[in-house]
Amino acid sequence: MSRMDVGPGGQGQGDARAPRGGVRGALRDMEQLSRSLPFGVEVFRLGADGRVLFADREGARELGPREEFLPFIDDGQFAHYLVGDAETSPERPSNATFKLGVVGPRSAFTPHAHGGEHVVLSLGHASCGLYDAARGQVTEIRLVPGAMIRIPEMMPHSFANRGGRPLNILAANTGFGIDHEDYAITAAEAERRATEDVVREPRRAVGTVSRVATDFGLLAAALRDIERVQRVEGVGTTTVRERLAAGLRRAASALEGPLGRGTR
């Protein structure tokens, strides 16, 4: 399992943790993270100051409205599409879904692969184990509140809650609801399809994604690798610093008061 923990000695772990040392320090952290990402995976860090930092295998940068965003309704407002695009309409659908998920304390999903690409926003302390086919290994990315990760279609992975409280996530994906047979393909299902040597017609375009034939034997082997890492490493834990930050975040939420009609 590829791990790049940022520690006192400066050695790294794939980690989208809270920024240190301002924007420059945060960008250095994201740059370090980018070196551990599989091709096609994207991680976003949504800061409390409104800044959006971005990392992929090519490096890290701050997303700015002049380059990566589109005008959004009014002057000075901007949007960046994660699923679909500006031309999405009933005549040109993206066939996308968006949902709120709750992950139990100190638990992980069974490793799986989605038939369509996924974008997941973590609102707590999470981790995502990704199978990096180019390197032939499992890479774990640690996520903190406000970290968002984009996972390509059919990439073997698992998502875990490292914290002791329920974890809320927001997930958007192209093409598949949770009842679809290709929504989450587990190792057991991949092995079944490989054993039965299922012959499928050439894949049609699904939403905005074009699918190709899948080697279910290789997919099953990759998912078993993630399962093995989960058995050995567990779901991970939160650090003292993360637990302190979580407590401060809860205190800040209490200070903000209840939702309701504003007062002046």
- Map tokens 């959006």 to a residue: 52
Contacts of 215 (CB under 8 A, 6+ apart): 194
Q: Reply yes or no on whether the pLDDT at 207 is more than 50.
A: no
How much is the pLDDT for 263? 54
Copy the structure tokens of residue 191. Answer: 């092995």
pLDDT (tens digit per residue) in 150-187:
999 999 999 999 999 999 999 999 878 888 888 899 99
pLDDT (tens digit per residue) in 52-110:
899 999 999 998 877 788 888 888 888 888 888 888 888 887 778 899 999 999 999 99
pLDDT (tens digit per residue) in 116-134:
889 999 999 999 999 999 9
In angstroms, the CA 178 to CA 122 distance is 19
Which one has a higher pLDDT value, 95 or 208? 95
Q: How confident is the model at residue 208 (pLDDT cuts 50, 70, 90)?
A: very low
Q: What percent of the chain has pLDDT over 70?
A: 83
Question: How much is the pTM?
Answer: 0.79
Q: Give, for 24, the enclosing helix (H) or strand (E).
A: helix 22-34
Looking at residue 92, what DSSP letter applies?
A: B
Closest alpha carbon to 163 in 247, 43, 233, 228: 247
Average pLDDT value for residue range 42-47: 90
Q: Where in the chain does DSSP place strands (E)?
A: 15-16, 42-46, 52-56, 59-62, 70-72, 74-79, 96-103, 107-108, 112-113, 118-122, 126-132, 137-143, 147-151, 157-161, 167-174, 185-186, 205-206, 209-210
